[in-house]
Structure 1
């Protein structure tokens, strides 16, 4: 009988986890430790350690760990596994390996990814503005979008608009629009657009916190928002986070390098993506980018690293530029962002 030790009460059935691992030939031995892994708000994630090795168990939560009420269907666990399995068909090193997948249990088990892989968000916040990582992230995203475009079976398998609305549109765009009534019509129209424009497999949380990086490549994590949707969401989501890191590092000695990163990601993605109308996709993505900036300070999951003064600056920036016709031009937004920062 295994002896368990854990840091805090555990939601999952530990005996069930052991039985599932034994099904795939893993003998954990006599002593097993369950330790919580931090960093996310939507799932309970546990590290299993034993003499046999390290494994990760992930179970989706019905209510996310944020201040505002935020509920979502736990079946997104299945969507995450399906996304991983799809990406592994053309780029297996870009996602974790699933060790156990069983629809009868509310979790799945995957390999533990440790050093030399490091969390990209943490490296960016520490001031590591490595342009190679930005290029890798942008081209990986384009590859996933390209590989999925036109696959009707994927459109059916990932027909999860209800989950996309619950996990992204409502907590980010709908909530931010309500908290800035003068901009609400823009947010409302964008939500309607994103509910109807659907052409590729979208990750839904394509940000530095979900990318592990090393000198040899990167691994994409946290795929539970995956759905058939518009590619503008993913590229805007990524580039927005790079602008937020620039805002965080403004007036530090890291700022010059970080000023280059949003445009680097944008141009490398659009150089690689195979879209029917790239110009249209760029216009849609640019306007959505402004809305996501506001959503990450006034939505249900605000970034934790921006001080009040910088959050207020971002609110003022979006309020000034979103109503302009040039809001659909990325170059205009990027230049205005940097200029306003430098002149404040």
Structure 2
């Protein structure tokens, strides 16, 4: 294998070893690696070998954020496992895994051409907001939860409490608690309660930046946070992004809120492993905490840039955390009063 001299892989022998060991590249073949942007937790490359193109991903031990944020690289193997489980439930909604080497912490998957698979975050930014697509996201996520709910075997394979705590609960809830002492007891209790609940296979990062709008519907990527636990976390995490987008592009706020309603309704209607209202109540408790976490946690939303907007989120989130709503529509209505003309 010969790698392009301009490629970052020149400095990473593990990547070259993976490509050779997996059989994805044969001896003597020329390889071009193009770094892909957008993530803070992994090195990701588009690999071009002759007429073949695929993606290789390697987890980082220290994430690329301003505050110190470390995470186990073993999450790479869990991400592969999540893709395999998800494909059984929603085969059209995940890429194919081509090769995986747990020892090296690398895997390869199919490359999805941006010409036909746009990033949902970009669609939302540019005003191409579809409530129908949001509903399809909700349907895909709940189908994965339903397919894995109360499975002792899946629970055993994704017993990733340490990783989930390190890259989700600590940076979003507990770090925020340190900034809001009067809410610390509630936020830390919420972190503990979430970690204790073991019900279904959770993606952990259902965000518009990790979802492609493909010809057959949504495609979910970046399952590094995969964990067997609280399915309400995935629902709340994704809905949180739709609330935050209302600050980013105020002119599309009504459409974002319509997508919020569509995604929530589609998800709740697919819950079969427990009473749907129980999942909704837990998601409604998580949502305002995650909302505040994207202002004062370790991963602040990069597009909320003014202190006035940050204070707007804080004001609504703090009130909702204290009042503990049980319905997602209540959170949506409170935010609509704040953000709509």
Relative to the length of structure 1, the TM-score reads 0.93
* Separation in 1, partners of 2:27, 2:139: 38
* Counterpart in the other structure of 1:80: 79
1:60–1:21 Cα change, 3 Å: same
In 2: Cα distance, 1:187 partner to 1:300 partner: 15
Greater Cα offset, 85-94 or 310-319: 85-94
How far apart are the structure 1 equivalents of 2:3 and 2:41? Answer: 28
Q: What are the ranges of 5 or more consecutive residues in structure 1 without an aligned counterpart?
A: none
Distance between the aligned counterparts of 1:342 and 1:87, measured in 2? Answer: 37
The answer as to whether partners of 1:204 and 1:226 remain within 8 angstroms in 2 is yes
SS at match of 1:225: coil
Tell me, in whole angstroms, the C-alpha distance in 2 between the residues paired with 1:331 and 1:15.
50
Cross-structure match for 2:20: 19
Tell me the CA shift for residue 21 of structure 1.
4.2
Deviation per residue, 1:146-174 (Å, 9 max, x gap)? 00012110010001101110010001100
Which residue number corresponds to residue 244 of structure 1? 244
Which residue does the alignment assign to 1:281? 279
Distance 2:275 2:13 in 1: 46
* Partners of 1:196 and 1:148 in 2: CA distance: 17
Q: How does 1:101-250 map to 2 (within 5 A)?
A: 101-114=100-113, 115-250=115-250
Aligned twin of 1:271: 269
| Alpha-carbon spacing, 1:73–1:246, altered in 2? closer, same or farther (3 Å) | same
Q: Is the 8 A contact 1:47 1:56 kept in 2?
A: yes
CA shift for structure 1 position 63 = 0.5
Q: Deviations over 1:117-159 (max 9, x none)?
A: 1111111111211112101100001100000012110010001
- Please name the residue that 2:91 is paired with: 92
| Secondary structure of residue in 1 paired with 2:139 | helix
Deviation above 3 Å: which 4+ runs of structure 1?
Answer: 7-12, 26-30
Counterpart Cα distance in 2 of 1:12 and 1:82? 25
1:11 and 1:323 map into 2 onto residues whose CA distance is: 48
Q: How far is 1:27 from its partner? A: 4.1
Displacement of 1:7: 4.9
Deviation at 1:15, TM superposition (A): 3.0
Whether contact under 8 Å (1:159, 1:228) holds in the other structure is yes
Shift, 1:340, TM fit: 1.8
Partner of 2:320: 321
Q: What's 1:294 paired with?
A: 292
Per-residue CA deviations over 1:167-219 (Å, capped at 9, x if unaligned) read 10001100011111121111011011012111000000011111111232121
Deviation at 1:256, TM superposition (A): 2.8
- Secondary structure of the corresponding residue to residue 171 of structure 2: helix
Tell me, what secondary structure is at the counterpart of 2:213?
strand
Give the structure-2-normalised TM-score: 0.94
Which residue is 1:67 aligned to? 66
Other-structure match for 1:36: 35
Structure 2, unpaired ranges of 5+: none
SS at match of 1:306: coil
Give the direction of change, closer, same or farther, for the CA distance of 1:339–1:15 in structure 2 (3 Å limit): closer
What is the alpha-carbon root mean square deviation over aligned residues?
1.7
